[in-house]
Structures are given as structure tokens and as C-alpha cells.
Amino acid sequence: MTDNFILRAVLAGIGVALAAGPLGCFIVWRRMAYFGDTLSHAGLTGIALGLLIGVGSTIGMAVVGLGAGAILLLLQRQRRIPADTLLGILSHAALACGLIAMSFMDKVRVDLFGYLFGDILAVDWQDVAWVYGGGAVIIAALVFNWRRLITLTVHEDMAAAEGIPVARTKFLLTLMIALSVAVAMKIVGVLLVTAMLIIPAAAARPVSRSPEVMAFGAAAAGCLAVAGGLQASLIWDLPSGPAIVAAAVVLFVLALTARRGFHPSARN
Amino acid sequence: MATVADTRPPSGGALIALRQASVTRGGRRILDTVDFSIGRGEIVTLIGPNGAGKSTLVKVALGLEPVDSGMFWRAPGLTVGYQPQKYSLDPALPLTVRRLVTLNTAASEARIAETLALLRLERLLESDVHTLSGGELQRAMLARAFLREPNLLVLDEPSQNLDVSGAIEIYQIIAEARKTTGCSVLVVSHDLNVVMAATDRVYCLNTHLCCSGAPEDVSRHRAFLELFGAAAAKTLAIYPHHHDHEHAPDGSIKPGHHHDHSHHHHD
């Protein structure tokens, strides 16, 4: 039994890392880190509302997450309020709403701390299945749309001129981020989801010369962070979610310093 | 009213045709009853001052923005190769020249080598794009547009960042590509000093179409003179193409060839 919960934790963590790494690359390339934060905070509101209404946390999270993504895409069409300000407003509004909604639920057993920071050691096999199901959908969507996503990341007007459906592809990316948040929330929690998306990707950047290498590198860095973080969590009795994120940060710092003095972009 | 593409092709085998097309955005008229077409294998140059509606016209022509009134037609199955005007590649995205020029293309190794040699980028194939100079990056974006094997090349300000001889060289490469592949070319420019010599037709836009025609005719047109002044007319499209030298890839000067460009006369 004791071995099983560790096995489930490792499997769930690696499942999250495999999908979040490559997806996180797009968040880094397209400067969407705030976007991920906003969607994860919206996820907290969704969980709270889902539990309050009685439809369940998963459905609540999915509906509110997608709604927040759609609102953001629509609001970004106006120019008077800058995009990062909008994201900041929506992000904190969602967090505040989520916390308020949760305060109404004293009769329901709500582990607020668990939602905020995750509890990877408590995942059951159903959670593991959810991680791999969602992760497989994200990876499949990334592979299938890879050329479109890279082209519009390099130049949106160029992609549009050459017939790539830019608006649809961007919406798909939003859906994928919302799904990744939903998948990773139980593992690392609302406040640390974005970390699993961006830190492995950022760690892979200094040692990558192509988008594909960076995507694989981010997945690998994420897996290493999960393994290292869980190990540290077991040895020193650390909270597991924060330990995984801390391990990812260590990898990032290592990657950054390993390449100091050598500029990967040096000619020849 | 045609906000969707008309299915009936216009006469003359045009790839793209606009008839009396108008676009209004936010209460402001951006394009006013513009007639515009690009024929098969034709090189069209679109010139006009800043804010003349050039970008909007290109977007409409590519089917990215609807027209509010008038007709828009676009040949089915068009493959567009687009060289953007502005490109700030984010250093967060690792990209080699090879990966950039093959982006959204299915080019063979031989074609890649040939195209990069044509644009004198062959030594940079495996380089990081973030180390390229402005001119090199621009040529790389042009290489990518070529490698799309397009029916229509759309080049937005291809002579920016280039000196006059550099611009002339790029225009010669474009003209050569048209000759060998038969693709149509749309060049957007506000640089009146160097309009491509091989241009078949110049459209001079300032919200409405001031004039259009062969380069020499446009440069003498009264509307053109009013818009750009007589000084500009003196240089338009009749830029001499006599170089007494060329620059080798390392920057050294080598003796060049003299050549004449006979201008095409239409109508």
C-alpha cells in the first residue's frame, strides 16, 4: 500500500510533466505566463462553484476555465486596457471569487490548502487516469497542430497570410492550457500550476537550438523535477507540490549556469 | 455587397481581383472604391504614403479582411508565400536558419540549398536566427517565402534595411524567381526611390486608387505627381541598373556585369 501511493504519485507527476513541458514552451514563446496564472485561478473559482452548485469540481473547473479563456480572448481585441493589466485583473478577480465561494462551504469538507498547493501523495488511480487522458489529448493536439502553432508563434500575420486559421489555433491553445490546468491542479495545486508549465520550458531553453528540442527538453526537465521533488519530499517530509516546483527551479538555475560563457547562438 | 468571395472568376485569368472595393473601420474610410487585380505571372507594385491603406488592401486581397462593399475574388487553391514587413523574432524561441526557412514549407534539401545560395545565406544554414543581421534575416524570410513554392509571392517592403544596390539585387532575384516559376508577385512599398524595374503594373494608393499602369506611365501621371511630388517621379522605376561592381558574400568588391533592363510597356 505504501509503495502504491508513491507509484501513483510518480506516475501522475510524470503524466503532468510530459504534457505540461511542451505546452509550456508555447506559454514561454508567446509570453503567456500570466495567462496560465489567470486560467488556474479561474480553475479555483470553478472548483468552488462546482461544489456549491453540486455539479462537481471537475465540471465547474472546466466550465469556468474555458469561460475565462474565452473572455480573455475577446477582451484582448480592445486596446485601451493593456493585455497584462487585463490578465492581472481577471486573475485576481478569479482568485478572490474562488476564495469567497469556498468560505461559504463550511459544511462541506473543503481542503483549501490541498487545492491551492495540491496533494500529489493523495491521488487515486482515477486521478492518474484523468492525468493521462487529459495529457494524451494535449499531446495529440500539439502534435497535430505543431506546424500551425510554430508558424503563428514566429509571425502571426505571416501565418494568416499563408492560410493558417490563426484565431482558431489560438483558441485551441487556450483550450489546451485550460485543460492542462485542470489536469495538473490536483497534483501541484492552483498556485503552482503555471510553474509546471513555464519552469521546465525555461530550463530547456538555454540548451535548445530548435523548438522541437526545447519541447522534448521541457518534458524531460519536468519529469526530472517530479522525480527529484518527490524524493526530497519523502526524505525530508516536505510538502510535495512545492518540492517539485523547487526541484524544477534548481534545474532551471543549473541549465542557465551550465550554458554561461557559451552562447548557444554562436555562429559555427 | 460581397463580404465572401464571389465564385465567378473575372475575365483575364487573374489570381486576385477587387472591383469597387471599399473598407470602413471605426467610421473611417480606409479603402474607397478600389479596383485592383493581380494576373497570373504578373509583378504588381503597390505604392502609397503611410496610412494610405496598403496593409488593408493586402489583407483584403489575401481574404483576411472582408470588404464592406464591392467585389472580391480570389483564385481557388492559391499558395501564398508571405514576407512580412516587421519581424521581431522572440529570442525565447530557439530557431536555426534552416528551421526558419522551412517553416510552413515542404522543401527538399536540394531546393533549400539552391534557394539559400541564391540569397547568399548558404553559410548561415545552421546558424541561430537571433545572430543574423537585419539584412540577413530579411533575406531568410524571403528564402522562406520562395520555398513555399507559391503561386503568389507577397512581399511587404522588401527593400527596407537595404541600400539602393542591395534593393536592386533583391528585386533582380525576385524578377528571376518569377521568370523561372511563373508565380505572381505583389510588392508593397513606400520607398519610391527603388520600384522594381521588372514591375508590370504599379498601383498608387491613397485610400482611393490615384492611378495605375506601367511604371513609366504612373511616374508621369498627374495624380502621382500631386501625391509624391515631381522629385519622386524622377526616380520611380527608372532607377539605373548599371552596377560597376558587386559585393561578394564576405563583403569584398568583385567586378560586376553591366546590364540593361528593357522596360515592359503595357497598353
User: Which residue bears the cell 526557412?
Assistant: B101
The predicted pLDDT at position B206 comes to 84
CB atoms within 10 A of CB B262: 6
Nearest to B221 by CA among B208, B236, B207: B236
Nearest to A49 by CA among A37, A63, A39: A63
The predicted pLDDT at position B9 comes to 52
Q: Does B130 touch chain A (CB under 8 A)?
A: yes
Question: Is the distance from CB of A120 to CB of A241 less than 8 angstroms?
Answer: yes
Helix (H, G, I), strand (E, B) or coil at B265: coil
Q: Supply the Cα-derived Rg of chain B in whole angstroms.
A: 19
Burial A220-251 (b: 16+ CB within 10 A, else e): bbbbbbbbbbbebbeeeeebbbbbbbbbbebb
Supply B204's cell numbers.
498608387
The predicted pLDDT at position B196 comes to 65
ipTM topping 0.85: no
The predicted pLDDT at position B216 comes to 72
Chain B residues inside the 8 Å CB shell of A157: 82, 84
Supply A267's cell numbers.
555562429
User: Which residue bears the cell 487556450?
Assistant: A174
HSE, CB side, 13 Å, CA atoms: give it for residue A221: 36
Chain A residues inside the 8 Å CB shell of B140: none
Tell me how far apart the alpha carbons of residues A242 and B34 are, in angstroms, rounded to a whole number: 61
* CB nearest A161 (choices: B92, B100, B154): B154
Tell me how far apart the alpha carbons of residues B176 and B114 are, in angstroms, rounded to a whole number: 13
Tell me how far apart the alpha carbons of residues A135 and A214 are, in angstroms, rounded to a whole number: 18
Q: Does A79 touch chain B (CB under 8 A)?
A: no
Q: Does A92 touch chain B (CB under 8 A)?
A: no
Tell me how far apart the alpha carbons of residues A155 and A152 are, in angstroms, rounded to a whole number: 5
Supply A11's cell numbers.
506516475
DSSP for B150-218? -SEEEEESTTTT--HHHHHHHHHHHHHHHHHH--EEEEEE---S---TT-SEEEEEESEEEEEESHHHH
Give the best residue of B82, B138, B153 to mutate against chain A (max A CB count within 10 A): B82
The predicted pLDDT at position B166 comes to 80
pLDDT in tens, chain B (267 residues): 444 444 455 556 788 888 888 888 888 888 888 888 899 889 998 988 878 888 889 989 888 888 888 888 888 888 999 998 877 788 999 999 999 999 888 888 898 998 998 888 889 988 999 998 888 888 899 999 999 999 999 998 887 777 777 888 888 888 888 888 889 999 998 766 666 677 888 888 888 887 777 777 777 776 666 666 655 555 554 433 333 444 445 545 554 444 333 344 433
Measure Cα distances from A20 to A36, A78, A209, B148 in Å. 11, 30, 20, 32
Supply B197's cell numbers.
524595374
The predicted pLDDT at position B11 comes to 57
Strand arrangement of the beta sheet that strand B43-47 belongs to? B80-83, B152-156, B184-189, B43-47, B201-206, B208-213
Residue of B nearest to A165 (CA): B64
In chain A, positions 101-160, which contact chain B (CB-CB < 8 Å)? Answer: 147, 150-151, 153-155, 157-160
Distance from CA of B231 to the nearest CA of A (A): 34
In chain A, positions 154-183, which contact chain B (CB-CB < 8 Å)? Answer: 154-155, 157-164
Chain B residues inside the 8 Å CB shell of A267: 124, 127-128, 131
Is residue B266 classed exposed, middle or buried when 0-12, 13-18 and 19+ CB atoms within 10 A define those classes? Answer: exposed
Chain A residues inside the 8 Å CB shell of B94: 205, 208-211, 213-214, 264
Q: Where are the alpha helices (DSSP H) in chain A?
A: 2-29, 33-53, 57-75, 83-103, 112-117, 125-144, 146-154, 156-161, 166-188, 193-204, 211-236, 240-258
Which three-class secondary structure string do you get for A141-170? Answer: HHHHCHHHHHHHHHCHHHHHHCCCCHHHHH
The predicted pLDDT at position A106 comes to 67
How far apart are the two ends of chain A, measured CA to CA in Å? 54
Q: What is the pLDDT of residues B11-39, one digit of tens each?
A: 567 888 888 888 888 888 888 888 888 99
CB atoms within 10 A of CB B263: 13
pLDDT in tens, chain A (268 residues): 556 888 999 999 999 999 999 999 999 999 888 888 888 888 888 888 888 888 877 788 878 888 888 888 787 777 788 878 888 888 889 889 888 888 887 655 567 777 888 888 888 898 899 899 999 999 999 999 999 999 999 998 899 989 899 989 998 998 899 888 888 887 788 878 889 999 999 999 999 999 999 999 999 999 999 999 999 999 999 988 889 999 999 999 999 888 654 454 444 3
In chain B, positions 194-233, which contact chain A (CB-CB < 8 Å)? Answer: none
Provide the phi-psi class of B4: left if phi over 0, else alpha when psi is between -120 and 50, else beta: beta
- Tell me which DSSP letter residue A71 carries: H
What is the set of domains in chain A, with CATH numbers?
2-191 (1.10.3470.10)
Distance from CA of A103 to the nearest CA of B (A): 41
Chain B residues inside the 8 Å CB shell of A28: 92
- Tell me which DSSP letter residue B38 carries: E
Domain boundaries, chain B: 83-149
Distance from CA of A66 to the nearest CA of B (A): 26
Tell me how far apart the alpha carbons of residues A223 and B207 are, in angstroms, rounded to a whole number: 56
Asked if B154's CB is within 8 angstroms of A153's CB, the reply is: no
